[in-house]
A and B are shown apart, each in its own frame.
Chain A
Amino acid sequence: MSDLDALEPDDLDGHSIDELADYLDAGMQPPDPSIDGSPACQNALAAILRVRHASLGSLEAAARDEAPADESWIGGVLANISLESRSGRDVPLRPQSESERPVMTEGAIRSLIRRTGDGVPGVLVARCRLDGDVTELAAPIRVVVEVAIVSGPSIVATADLVRTGVAQALAEQTDLLVEAVDVVVRDLLEPDPDTDTDTDTDTEETR
Protein backbone atom coordinates (compact mmCIF):
# COMPACT_ATOMS: atom_id res chain seq x y z
CA MET A 1 0.00 0.00 0.00
CA SER A 2 1.31 3.44 -0.82
CA ASP A 3 1.84 6.20 1.73
CA LEU A 4 -1.16 7.95 0.30
CA ASP A 5 -3.59 5.60 1.91
CA ALA A 6 -2.66 7.59 4.95
CA LEU A 7 -4.37 10.93 4.51
CA GLU A 8 -5.03 11.87 8.13
CA PRO A 9 -3.16 14.58 10.08
CA ASP A 10 -1.22 11.95 12.02
CA ASP A 11 0.31 10.84 8.75
CA LEU A 12 0.84 14.35 7.35
CA ASP A 13 2.95 15.90 10.09
CA GLY A 14 -0.12 17.36 11.72
CA HIS A 15 -1.76 18.86 8.60
CA SER A 16 -5.09 17.80 7.18
CA ILE A 17 -5.45 17.10 3.48
CA ASP A 18 -7.90 19.99 3.30
CA GLU A 19 -5.39 22.43 4.77
CA LEU A 20 -2.98 21.29 2.10
CA ALA A 21 -5.56 21.85 -0.66
CA ASP A 22 -6.22 25.36 0.71
CA TYR A 23 -2.48 25.99 0.79
CA LEU A 24 -2.29 25.08 -2.91
CA ASP A 25 -5.28 27.31 -3.67
CA ALA A 26 -3.46 30.20 -2.01
CA GLY A 27 -0.48 29.67 -4.31
CA MET A 28 1.51 28.19 -1.35
CA GLN A 29 1.61 31.68 0.14
CA PRO A 30 2.59 32.67 2.73
CA PRO A 31 5.24 29.93 2.88
CA ASP A 32 4.67 27.39 5.64
CA PRO A 33 7.95 25.65 6.53
CA SER A 34 6.11 22.85 8.36
CA ILE A 35 4.46 21.95 5.01
CA ASP A 36 7.33 22.82 2.67
CA GLY A 37 9.75 20.79 4.79
CA SER A 38 7.58 17.71 5.18
CA PRO A 39 8.08 14.88 2.68
CA ALA A 40 4.66 13.44 3.58
CA CYS A 41 2.99 16.80 2.86
CA GLN A 42 4.90 17.25 -0.40
CA ASN A 43 3.77 13.81 -1.45
CA ALA A 44 0.16 14.67 -0.64
CA LEU A 45 0.36 18.04 -2.42
CA ALA A 46 1.58 16.27 -5.55
CA ALA A 47 -1.31 13.82 -5.28
CA ILE A 48 -3.83 16.67 -4.97
CA LEU A 49 -2.39 18.30 -8.09
CA ARG A 50 -2.54 15.03 -10.00
CA VAL A 51 -6.24 14.44 -9.29
CA ARG A 52 -7.02 18.06 -10.10
CA HIS A 53 -5.36 17.90 -13.48
CA ALA A 54 -6.91 14.53 -14.20
CA SER A 55 -10.39 15.85 -13.36
CA LEU A 56 -10.01 18.76 -15.75
CA GLY A 57 -8.42 16.58 -18.39
CA SER A 58 -11.16 13.99 -18.18
CA LEU A 59 -13.79 16.55 -19.10
CA GLU A 60 -11.75 17.71 -22.08
CA ALA A 61 -11.33 14.06 -23.10
CA ALA A 62 -15.07 13.47 -22.77
CA ALA A 63 -15.65 16.54 -24.95
CA ARG A 64 -13.50 15.00 -27.67
CA ASP A 65 -15.82 11.98 -27.63
CA GLU A 66 -18.90 14.16 -28.17
CA ALA A 67 -20.11 14.62 -31.74
CA PRO A 68 -19.63 18.08 -33.25
CA ALA A 69 -22.62 20.36 -32.88
CA ASP A 70 -25.39 19.42 -35.27
CA GLU A 71 -25.97 22.03 -37.99
CA SER A 72 -29.74 22.15 -37.65
CA TRP A 73 -29.41 22.39 -33.88
CA ILE A 74 -27.05 25.37 -34.27
CA GLY A 75 -29.63 26.94 -36.58
CA GLY A 76 -32.21 26.45 -33.84
CA VAL A 77 -30.04 28.17 -31.26
CA LEU A 78 -29.38 31.12 -33.54
CA ALA A 79 -33.07 31.41 -34.35
CA ASN A 80 -33.78 31.71 -30.65
CA ILE A 81 -31.33 34.42 -29.69
CA SER A 82 -32.71 37.88 -29.48
CA LEU A 83 -30.98 40.41 -31.70
CA GLU A 84 -32.58 43.20 -29.68
CA SER A 85 -30.58 42.26 -26.63
CA ARG A 86 -27.39 43.28 -28.43
CA SER A 87 -28.72 46.23 -30.41
CA GLY A 88 -27.55 48.99 -28.06
CA ARG A 89 -28.69 52.58 -28.17
CA ASP A 90 -30.99 54.18 -30.74
CA VAL A 91 -29.02 56.58 -32.91
CA PRO A 92 -31.09 59.31 -34.60
CA LEU A 93 -30.79 60.08 -38.29
CA ARG A 94 -31.55 63.48 -39.80
CA PRO A 95 -35.32 63.60 -40.47
CA GLN A 96 -36.47 64.36 -44.00
CA SER A 97 -39.71 65.85 -42.71
CA GLU A 98 -41.10 67.29 -39.48
CA SER A 99 -43.01 64.19 -38.47
CA GLU A 100 -40.20 61.71 -38.98
CA ARG A 101 -37.98 60.41 -36.22
CA PRO A 102 -35.74 57.98 -38.06
CA VAL A 103 -33.21 55.99 -36.02
CA MET A 104 -30.57 53.40 -36.63
CA THR A 105 -29.55 51.06 -33.83
CA GLU A 106 -26.06 51.17 -32.42
CA GLY A 107 -25.90 47.46 -33.27
CA ALA A 108 -26.53 48.19 -36.94
CA ILE A 109 -23.80 50.83 -36.90
CA ARG A 110 -21.36 48.43 -35.29
CA SER A 111 -22.28 45.89 -37.90
CA LEU A 112 -21.50 48.44 -40.62
CA ILE A 113 -18.13 49.14 -39.00
CA ARG A 114 -17.36 45.41 -38.75
CA ARG A 115 -18.28 44.80 -42.38
CA THR A 116 -16.15 47.71 -43.50
CA GLY A 117 -13.16 46.70 -41.38
CA ASP A 118 -13.43 43.01 -42.31
CA GLY A 119 -13.50 44.12 -45.94
CA VAL A 120 -9.92 45.36 -45.69
CA PRO A 121 -7.66 42.43 -46.64
CA GLY A 122 -5.86 40.98 -43.65
CA VAL A 123 -8.13 42.60 -41.07
CA LEU A 124 -10.75 41.26 -38.72
CA VAL A 125 -12.52 43.66 -36.41
CA ALA A 126 -12.52 42.62 -32.77
CA ARG A 127 -14.70 45.22 -31.09
CA CYS A 128 -15.90 48.67 -31.87
CA ARG A 129 -17.15 51.40 -29.64
CA LEU A 130 -18.96 54.67 -30.18
CA ASP A 131 -17.77 57.12 -27.51
CA GLY A 132 -20.06 60.06 -26.96
CA ASP A 133 -23.76 60.73 -26.79
CA VAL A 134 -24.91 59.05 -29.97
CA THR A 135 -28.54 59.51 -28.94
CA GLU A 136 -28.17 63.25 -29.65
CA LEU A 137 -28.28 64.12 -33.34
CA ALA A 138 -24.97 65.63 -34.51
CA ALA A 139 -23.30 65.35 -31.09
CA PRO A 140 -19.59 64.81 -31.71
CA ILE A 141 -18.39 61.26 -31.16
CA ARG A 142 -15.22 59.21 -31.39
CA VAL A 143 -15.18 55.76 -32.90
CA VAL A 144 -12.77 53.19 -31.52
CA VAL A 145 -12.18 50.14 -33.69
CA GLU A 146 -10.13 47.30 -32.21
CA VAL A 147 -8.75 45.01 -34.88
CA ALA A 148 -6.77 41.86 -35.42
CA ILE A 149 -4.34 42.27 -38.31
CA VAL A 150 -2.28 39.74 -40.24
CA SER A 151 1.31 40.37 -39.20
CA GLY A 152 3.56 41.85 -41.83
CA PRO A 153 5.29 45.03 -42.88
CA SER A 154 2.21 47.06 -43.72
CA ILE A 155 0.37 47.15 -40.41
CA VAL A 156 0.27 50.94 -40.23
CA ALA A 157 -0.93 51.29 -43.82
CA THR A 158 -3.55 48.59 -43.24
CA ALA A 159 -4.81 50.28 -40.08
CA ASP A 160 -5.06 53.48 -42.11
CA LEU A 161 -7.26 51.76 -44.68
CA VAL A 162 -9.56 50.70 -41.85
CA ARG A 163 -9.66 54.24 -40.50
CA THR A 164 -10.54 55.90 -43.80
CA GLY A 165 -12.92 53.11 -44.82
CA VAL A 166 -14.88 53.30 -41.57
CA ALA A 167 -15.00 57.11 -41.65
CA GLN A 168 -16.31 57.04 -45.20
CA ALA A 169 -18.91 54.35 -44.52
CA LEU A 170 -20.21 56.23 -41.48
CA ALA A 171 -20.36 59.49 -43.43
CA GLU A 172 -22.33 57.83 -46.21
CA GLN A 173 -24.76 55.79 -44.16
CA THR A 174 -25.26 57.61 -40.86
CA ASP A 175 -25.61 61.19 -39.65
CA LEU A 176 -23.01 60.79 -36.92
CA LEU A 177 -20.61 63.67 -36.42
CA VAL A 178 -17.40 61.67 -36.22
CA GLU A 179 -14.49 63.59 -34.74
CA ALA A 180 -12.04 60.75 -35.04
CA VAL A 181 -11.75 57.08 -35.82
CA ASP A 182 -9.16 55.41 -33.61
CA VAL A 183 -7.87 52.08 -34.81
CA VAL A 184 -6.31 49.94 -32.09
CA VAL A 185 -4.39 46.83 -33.13
CA ARG A 186 -5.25 44.26 -30.49
CA ASP A 187 -4.00 41.12 -32.03
CA LEU A 188 -1.70 39.89 -34.77
CA LEU A 189 -2.90 37.02 -36.92
CA GLU A 190 -0.67 34.44 -38.55
CA PRO A 191 -0.41 35.01 -42.29
CA ASP A 192 -2.55 32.49 -44.14
CA PRO A 193 -0.25 30.36 -46.34
CA ASP A 194 -2.76 30.05 -49.15
CA THR A 195 -4.33 33.46 -49.01
CA ASP A 196 -6.86 33.92 -51.72
CA THR A 197 -8.02 37.46 -51.86
CA ASP A 198 -11.52 36.93 -53.12
CA THR A 199 -13.74 39.61 -51.78
CA ASP A 200 -16.76 39.31 -49.63
CA THR A 201 -20.06 40.27 -51.08
CA ASP A 202 -21.14 41.85 -47.85
CA THR A 203 -21.00 45.30 -49.36
CA GLU A 204 -24.53 45.87 -50.49
CA GLU A 205 -25.45 49.51 -50.39
CA THR A 206 -28.42 50.66 -48.41
CA ARG A 207 -29.94 54.01 -49.04
Chain B
Amino acid sequence: MHHQSLAELDDTVLAGRSSDGDVRAFEVLIRRYTPLLRAYARRTLGSTDELDDVVQETFITAWDRLDRLDDHAKVKSWLMRILSRKCLDRIRARRFHDDVTELEVAAAAADAPDRVAEARSREEAAETALAELPEAQRRCWIMKEVLEYSYDDIAAELDLPPSTVRGLLSRARKNMIRLMEGWR
Protein backbone atom coordinates (compact mmCIF):
# COMPACT_ATOMS: atom_id res chain seq x y z
CA MET B 1 0.00 0.00 0.00
CA HIS B 2 2.68 2.47 0.94
CA HIS B 3 4.85 1.83 -2.06
CA GLN B 4 1.97 2.69 -4.35
CA SER B 5 1.08 5.84 -2.56
CA LEU B 6 4.57 7.33 -2.99
CA ALA B 7 3.62 7.97 -6.60
CA GLU B 8 0.72 10.12 -5.39
CA LEU B 9 2.94 12.43 -3.38
CA ASP B 10 3.66 15.93 -4.54
CA ASP B 11 7.07 17.16 -5.62
CA THR B 12 7.84 18.85 -2.32
CA VAL B 13 7.51 15.67 -0.28
CA LEU B 14 9.30 13.55 -2.86
CA ALA B 15 12.20 15.97 -3.15
CA GLY B 16 12.44 16.14 0.64
CA ARG B 17 12.56 12.37 0.97
CA SER B 18 15.08 12.18 -1.86
CA SER B 19 17.25 14.75 -0.17
CA ASP B 20 17.12 12.58 2.96
CA GLY B 21 18.44 9.70 0.84
CA ASP B 22 15.26 7.87 -0.16
CA VAL B 23 16.00 6.24 -3.50
CA ARG B 24 12.38 5.13 -3.99
CA ALA B 25 11.11 8.70 -3.76
CA PHE B 26 13.76 9.77 -6.24
CA GLU B 27 12.66 6.99 -8.56
CA VAL B 28 9.14 8.47 -8.54
CA LEU B 29 10.59 11.84 -9.58
CA ILE B 30 12.55 10.14 -12.35
CA ARG B 31 9.37 8.51 -13.67
CA ARG B 32 7.43 11.73 -13.37
CA TYR B 33 9.87 14.02 -15.17
CA THR B 34 11.76 11.88 -17.68
CA PRO B 35 9.26 12.55 -20.52
CA LEU B 36 9.44 16.32 -19.96
CA LEU B 37 13.23 16.29 -19.74
CA ARG B 38 13.49 14.14 -22.85
CA ALA B 39 11.18 16.50 -24.71
CA TYR B 40 13.33 19.44 -23.65
CA ALA B 41 16.56 17.65 -24.62
CA ARG B 42 15.06 16.63 -27.96
CA ARG B 43 14.13 20.21 -28.68
CA THR B 44 17.62 21.40 -27.77
CA LEU B 45 19.82 18.64 -29.18
CA GLY B 46 17.62 17.13 -31.85
CA SER B 47 16.63 13.47 -31.92
CA THR B 48 19.97 11.93 -31.14
CA ASP B 49 20.99 8.89 -29.15
CA GLU B 50 22.43 11.32 -26.60
CA LEU B 51 19.01 11.99 -25.07
CA ASP B 52 19.07 9.05 -22.67
CA ASP B 53 22.56 9.93 -21.50
CA VAL B 54 21.96 13.61 -20.96
CA VAL B 55 18.77 12.96 -18.98
CA GLN B 56 20.54 10.31 -16.92
CA GLU B 57 23.39 12.73 -16.14
CA THR B 58 20.80 15.31 -15.12
CA PHE B 59 19.27 13.01 -12.52
CA ILE B 60 22.66 11.92 -11.19
CA THR B 61 23.75 15.55 -10.77
CA ALA B 62 20.39 16.42 -9.19
CA TRP B 63 20.74 13.61 -6.63
CA ASP B 64 24.18 14.85 -5.61
CA ARG B 65 22.97 18.43 -5.22
CA LEU B 66 19.57 17.91 -3.62
CA ASP B 67 20.65 19.61 -0.42
CA ARG B 68 21.30 22.79 -2.41
CA LEU B 69 17.72 22.97 -3.65
CA ASP B 70 16.19 25.57 -1.35
CA ASP B 71 12.57 25.25 -2.37
CA HIS B 72 11.59 21.64 -2.89
CA ALA B 73 8.40 22.68 -4.68
CA LYS B 74 10.59 23.93 -7.53
CA VAL B 75 12.22 20.61 -8.30
CA LYS B 76 10.76 20.56 -11.81
CA SER B 77 12.25 23.86 -13.01
CA TRP B 78 15.44 23.03 -11.13
CA LEU B 79 15.79 19.76 -13.07
CA MET B 80 15.16 21.63 -16.32
CA ARG B 81 17.93 24.08 -15.52
CA ILE B 82 20.41 21.32 -14.76
CA LEU B 83 19.45 19.65 -18.02
CA SER B 84 19.72 22.87 -19.97
CA ARG B 85 23.32 23.31 -18.80
CA LYS B 86 24.18 19.76 -19.76
CA CYS B 87 22.65 20.27 -23.20
CA LEU B 88 24.68 23.44 -23.73
CA ASP B 89 27.84 21.58 -22.75
CA ARG B 90 27.06 18.96 -25.37
CA ILE B 91 26.40 21.53 -28.03
CA ARG B 92 29.68 23.26 -27.22
CA ALA B 93 31.55 19.98 -27.39
CA ARG B 94 29.80 19.01 -30.61
CA ARG B 95 30.83 22.14 -32.47
CA PHE B 96 33.71 23.66 -30.65
CA HIS B 97 34.91 25.44 -33.76
CA ASP B 98 31.47 26.80 -34.42
CA ASP B 99 30.17 29.66 -32.38
CA VAL B 100 27.32 28.15 -30.39
CA THR B 101 25.72 31.52 -30.14
CA GLU B 102 26.24 32.75 -33.67
CA LEU B 103 23.96 35.57 -34.68
CA GLU B 104 21.82 34.10 -37.35
CA VAL B 105 19.99 36.46 -39.59
CA ALA B 106 18.16 33.98 -41.78
CA ALA B 107 14.50 34.85 -41.99
CA ALA B 108 11.84 32.25 -41.33
CA ALA B 109 10.94 30.20 -44.39
CA ALA B 110 8.39 31.86 -46.61
CA ASP B 111 5.77 29.20 -45.99
CA ALA B 112 6.27 29.20 -42.19
CA PRO B 113 3.18 31.32 -41.43
CA ASP B 114 1.04 28.92 -43.45
CA ARG B 115 2.38 25.91 -41.60
CA VAL B 116 1.78 27.56 -38.23
CA ALA B 117 -1.74 28.49 -39.34
CA GLU B 118 -2.48 24.88 -40.20
CA ALA B 119 -1.51 23.57 -36.77
CA ARG B 120 -4.27 21.68 -35.00
CA SER B 121 -3.58 23.13 -31.56
CA ARG B 122 -2.00 26.18 -30.05
CA GLU B 123 0.80 23.97 -28.71
CA GLU B 124 1.52 22.53 -32.13
CA ALA B 125 1.49 26.03 -33.60
CA ALA B 126 4.06 27.14 -31.02
CA GLU B 127 6.18 24.09 -31.74
CA THR B 128 6.13 24.85 -35.46
CA ALA B 129 6.87 28.52 -34.88
CA LEU B 130 9.75 27.72 -32.53
CA ALA B 131 11.25 25.38 -35.09
CA GLU B 132 11.33 28.29 -37.55
CA LEU B 133 13.42 30.52 -35.32
CA PRO B 134 17.15 30.73 -35.94
CA GLU B 135 18.89 28.60 -33.36
CA ALA B 136 20.37 31.35 -31.18
CA GLN B 137 16.99 33.06 -30.96
CA ARG B 138 15.23 29.82 -30.12
CA ARG B 139 17.72 28.98 -27.41
CA CYS B 140 17.38 32.38 -25.74
CA TRP B 141 13.61 32.28 -26.05
CA ILE B 142 13.35 28.88 -24.38
CA MET B 143 15.71 29.89 -21.58
CA LYS B 144 13.67 33.04 -20.96
CA GLU B 145 10.13 31.79 -21.41
CA VAL B 146 10.33 28.13 -20.43
CA LEU B 147 13.15 28.03 -17.91
CA GLU B 148 12.44 31.56 -16.60
CA TYR B 149 16.05 32.68 -16.65
CA SER B 150 16.79 36.37 -16.26
CA TYR B 151 18.57 38.24 -19.05
CA ASP B 152 21.76 38.24 -17.00
CA ASP B 153 21.53 34.50 -16.29
CA ILE B 154 21.13 33.75 -19.99
CA ALA B 155 24.07 36.01 -20.81
CA ALA B 156 26.24 34.26 -18.22
CA GLU B 157 25.17 30.81 -19.31
CA LEU B 158 25.79 31.50 -23.01
CA ASP B 159 28.84 33.66 -22.37
CA LEU B 160 27.36 36.57 -24.30
CA PRO B 161 27.02 40.27 -23.53
CA PRO B 162 23.58 41.01 -22.04
CA SER B 163 22.95 43.45 -24.87
CA THR B 164 23.30 40.63 -27.39
CA VAL B 165 20.88 38.50 -25.41
CA ARG B 166 18.40 41.37 -25.38
CA GLY B 167 18.74 41.73 -29.13
CA LEU B 168 18.22 38.02 -29.76
CA LEU B 169 15.19 37.93 -27.47
CA SER B 170 13.75 41.00 -29.10
CA ARG B 171 13.88 39.36 -32.51
CA ALA B 172 12.62 36.05 -31.16
CA ARG B 173 9.68 37.82 -29.53
CA LYS B 174 8.66 39.61 -32.69
CA ASN B 175 9.08 36.49 -34.79
CA MET B 176 7.02 34.40 -32.38
CA ILE B 177 4.23 36.97 -32.19
CA ARG B 178 4.06 37.36 -35.96
CA LEU B 179 4.18 33.62 -36.61
CA MET B 180 1.60 32.84 -33.94
CA GLU B 181 -0.82 35.52 -35.08
CA GLY B 182 -1.69 33.41 -38.08
CA TRP B 183 -3.02 30.65 -35.86
CA ARG B 184 -6.56 30.88 -34.61
* A157 part of interface (Cβ distance < 8 Å): no
| Distance between Cα atoms of A48 and B172 in the complex (Å) | 11
| Distance between Cα atoms of A61 and B177 in the complex (Å) | 20
* A163 part of interface (Cβ distance < 8 Å): no
- Residues of A within 8 Å of B177, CB to CB, are 4, 7, 17, 44, 47-48, 51
* B52 part of interface (Cβ distance < 8 Å): yes
Q: Closest CB of chain B to A103's CB: distance in Å?
A: 16
- Residues of B within 8 Å of A53, CB to CB, are 122
| Distance between Cα atoms of A118 and B130 in the complex (Å) | 46
| Distance between Cα atoms of A61 and B123 in the complex (Å) | 7
Q: Closest CB of chain B to A61's CB: distance in Å?
A: 4
Stretch of B28-36, B86-94, B96-104, B152-160 at the chain-chain interface: B28-36
Q: Closest CB of chain A to B62's CB: distance in Å?
A: 9
- Of A52, A110, A200, the contact of B3 (CB 8 Å cutoff): A200
Please state if A54 and B125 are interface contacts (CB–CB under 8 Å).
yes
Known contacts A85-B64, A110-B20: does B122 contact A17 (CB below 8 Å)?
A: no
> Which of B13, B27, B166 has the most chain A CB atoms inside 10 A of its CB?
B13
Please state if A69 and B31 are interface contacts (CB–CB under 8 Å).
yes
- Of B10, B56, B126, the contact of A80 (CB 8 Å cutoff): B56
Please state if B174 and A56 are interface contacts (CB–CB under 8 Å).
no
Within B149-180, the residues touching A (CB, 8 Å) are 166, 169-170, 173-174, 176-178, 180
Q: Closest CB of chain B to A57's CB: distance in Å?
A: 5
Within A87-119, the residues touching B (CB, 8 Å) are 87-88, 107, 110-111, 114, 118-119
Q: Which residue of B lies closest to A68 (CB)?
A: B35
Known contacts A4-B181, A58-B127, A77-B30: does B19 contact A127 (CB below 8 Å)?
A: yes
- Of B8, B27, B121, B127, the contact of A78 (CB 8 Å cutoff): B27
- Of B23, B56, B130, the contact of A55 (CB 8 Å cutoff): B130
- Residues of A within 8 Å of B20, CB to CB, are 86, 107, 110, 114, 127-128
- Residues of B within 8 Å of A107, CB to CB, are 20-21
- Residues of A within 8 Å of B169, CB to CB, are 18, 21
| Distance between Cα atoms of A77 and B36 in the complex (Å) | 16
- Residues of A within 8 Å of B56, CB to CB, are 73, 76-77, 80
Q: Which residue of B lies closest to A82 (CB)?
A: B64
Please state if B59 and A81 are interface contacts (CB–CB under 8 Å).
yes
- Residues of B within 8 Å of A64, CB to CB, are 35
- Residues of A within 8 Å of B21, CB to CB, are 83, 86-88, 107, 110-111
| Residues 1-27 of chain A, each 1 if its beta carbon lies under 8 Å from chain B, else 0 | 010110100000000111001000000
Q: Which residue of B lies closest to A128 (CB)?
A: B20
| Distance between Cα atoms of A195 and B4 in the complex (Å) | 11
- Residues of A within 8 Å of B111, CB to CB, are none
- Of A68, A83, A195, the contact of B1 (CB 8 Å cutoff): A195
* A205 part of interface (Cβ distance < 8 Å): no
| Distance between Cα atoms of A104 and B64 in the complex (Å) | 20
A-B contact pairs, 6 of them (CB 8 A): A55-B142, A56-B146, A62-B127, A82-B63, A110-B21, A124-B2
Residues of A with Cβ closer than 8 Å to B?
2, 4-5, 7, 16-18, 21, 44, 47-48, 50-69, 73-74, 76-78, 80-83, 85-88, 107, 110-111, 114, 118-119, 124-128, 146, 148, 186-187, 189-190, 192, 195-198, 200
